[in-house]
Amino acid sequence: MSLQAGVSSPGLFLRSVSVNNSVSVYYCPCKAPRSLLPGLTSSHRSPDLPLIMKSVSRLAFTVPVIIAVVIALWLLADGAENQPASARPYGNAADIKTNDADFSTGHQQPPSKLVGESAELTVPGQPPASLAGTTEPGGWAKTDRFGNLVPTGDLRQLFEYYLSALGEETLSQLVARIRLALSVLEEPARGQALDTLGRYLDYKLALSDLEAAYGEAGASEPAEIERRMLEIHALRRTWMDAATAEAFFADEETIDRFQLKKRSIGKDSSLTEQQREEALAEAEMALPEPVRKARQDTRKFSRYEQARVAMANDPEALRAWRRQEFGDEAAEKLEGLDAEQKDWNRRWQSYAKEREALEASGLAEPEREEGLTRLREKYFSESERVRAQALDSIQ
């Protein structure tokens, strides 16, 4: 499941989805391919996008940077009506199907055939426009002492890095690019990696066909969600060996099971609030450690937001609470961010009043824009003016 970035640095990458018009964001601990970390709004798609509904979340400009990140993670951890990713429609598979003739409904041959044919293709010197200036994911070229390929989640990210440019280049061209990247491996690992690529491509086509069978309607009942999830898990092991499926999807499937368990616990009316919390804590222990830690951290910041409201008129009490909850160093940083936000709010309110007066003055467009520029220079620093202008554009 997968926010991805222009570099393959270690970390979490997130995905936003919509279930019955409510937004949830979740993530898995792996190296991000390259497209979503900056703001959750990349045009590139992450591996195996959801098979039930698709959506996008927008972070508010007026929230401090750290709080914005926290809220995103909080939504990630506790979005309403969470469903397993495997049970949602996987947009990426469908996009491959519609964006390239090789993956169309009337395909003449399985896409794995392109792996062998790609040996005859010449790879263009320039990358697709969407990949220009980005870094190819690393960490995937792993072999055992006998030279056999060791499948990893990083290898899947390499595949998806290039497949995300489908539409800019044909599938055949992108397969040739992946083949070139895999050429750094020695045999037998190279041949095994190419075989894995072919199986992965065939899996994605089968996933697209399964999505078509599900249709547009999403699943709402737990039994149907679980059935779809298990079908996807089984499909992966049909096209890939157990070791590869585990390496590619283990964390994702663990989160799938947690989301299903969480949903079941939330709907169990026989549980008291304390029993529900204990059951969720027990279920959470099965999550990958980075995911578990992130959920704990986001709960801390959620409590902080509540404390800020409750102690808004008692700065000393809030200061003491921050130190007790986060430690002295983090508390000082949070206090500084709070002060910066209050200062911004004060200046924004003054700016907004003068802007409204300017807009009501009846000036022609050139004069009005010139007046707005002067107002922004009056109230904001150079970097803040970009933020102010963006906020103005959505008023």
pLDDT value for 190: 96
pLDDT value for 108: 57
Q: Give yes or no: residues 134 and 244 share one domain.
A: yes
Q: Which is it for strands 22-29 and 12-19: parallel, antiparallel or unpaired?
A: antiparallel
| Cα Rg of the chain (Å, integer) | 24
Task: For residue 12, list its beta bridge partners.
Answer: 29
Phi, psi of 79 (to 5 degrees): -60, 150
Domain boundary among 233, 256, 279: 256
- Find tokens 């922004």 and name the residue: 376
In a domain, 50, yes or no: no
Prediction pTM value? 0.56
Q: Give yes or no: residues 318 and 235 share one domain.
A: no
Two tokens at 229?
């999830």
pLDDT value for 213: 86
218-251, pLDDT tens digit by residue?
Answer: 666 778 888 889 999 999 999 999 999 999 999 8
Where residue 48 falls (left for φ over 0; alpha for ψ -120 to 50; beta otherwise) is: left
**Parent domain of 369:** 311-393
> How far is residue 246's CA from residue 156's CA, in Å, rounded to a whole number?
11
Q: Is the peptide bond before 127 cis (omega within 30 degrees of 0)?
A: no
Q: Give yes or no: residues 142 and 212 share one domain.
A: yes
Q: Which amino acid is at 110?
A: P
Q: In three state form, how does the secondary structure of the chain look?
A: CCCCCCCCCCCEEEEEEEECCEEEEEEEECCCCCCCCCCCCCCCCCCCCCECCCCCCCCCCCCCHHHHHHHHHHHHHHCCCCCCHHHCCEHHHHHHHHHCHHHCCCCCCCCCHHHHHHHHCCCCCCCCHHHCCCCCCCCCCCECCCCCECCCHHHHHHHHHHHCCECCECHHHHHHHHHHHHCCCCCCHHHHHHHHHHHHHHHHHHHHHHHHHHCCCCCCCHHHHHHHHHHHHHHHHHHCCHHHHHHHHHHHHHHHHHHHHHHHHHHCCCCCHHHHHHHHHHHHCCCCHHHHHHHHHHHHHHHHHHHHHHCCCCHHHHHHHHHHHHCHHHHHHHHHHHHHHHHHHHHHHHHHHHHHHHHCCCCCHHHHHHHHHHHHHHHCCHHHHHHHHHHHHCC
Per-residue confidence in pLDDT tens, the chain, 395 aa: 333 333 333 333 333 333 333 333 333 333 333 332 223 233 333 444 333 333 333 333 443 444 444 444 444 444 434 555 555 443 344 333 333 334 544 455 789 999 999 998 989 889 999 999 999 999 999 999 999 999 999 999 999 999 999 999 999 999 999 999 999 999 999 999 999 999 999 999 999 999 888 876 666 677 888 888 999 999 999 999 999 999 999 988 998 899 888 888 988 889 998 898 899 888 888 888 888 888 888 888 888 888 888 888 888 998 898 888 888 898 888 889 888 988 999 999 999 999 999 989 888 989 989 999 999 999 999 889 888 888 888 76
In a domain, 387, yes or no: yes
Q: Give yes or no: residues 215 and 337 share one domain.
A: no
Q: Give yes or no: residues 109 and 178 share one domain.
A: yes
Structural domain tally of the chain? 2
Q: Give yes or no: residues 241 and 350 share one domain.
A: no
Two tokens at 195?
């075989």
pLDDT value for 383: 87
Q: Give yes or no: residues 245 and 326 share one domain.
A: no
Q: Give yes or no: residues 122 and 236 share one domain.
A: yes
Contact 20, 33 (CB under 8 A): no
Q: Give yes or no: residues 136 and 234 share one domain.
A: yes
In a domain, 2, yes or no: no
In a domain, 51, yes or no: no
Contact 46, 2 (CB under 8 A): yes
Which class for 45: exposed (0-12), middle (13-18), buried (19 or more C-beta within 10 A)?
buried
Q: Give yes or no: residues 140 and 251 share one domain.
A: yes
Q: What is the mean pLDDT of the chain?
A: 76
> How far is residue 131's CA from residue 319's CA, in Å, rounded to a whole number?
46
In a domain, 351, yes or no: yes
Q: Give yes or no: residues 120 and 233 share one domain.
A: yes
In a domain, 48, yes or no: no
In a domain, 381, yes or no: yes
pLDDT value for 362: 87
> How far is residue 300's CA from residue 327's CA, in Å, rounded to a whole number?
12
> How far is residue 249's CA from residue 229's CA, in Å, rounded to a whole number?
12
Q: Give yes or no: residues 247 and 349 share one domain.
A: no
In a domain, 179, yes or no: yes
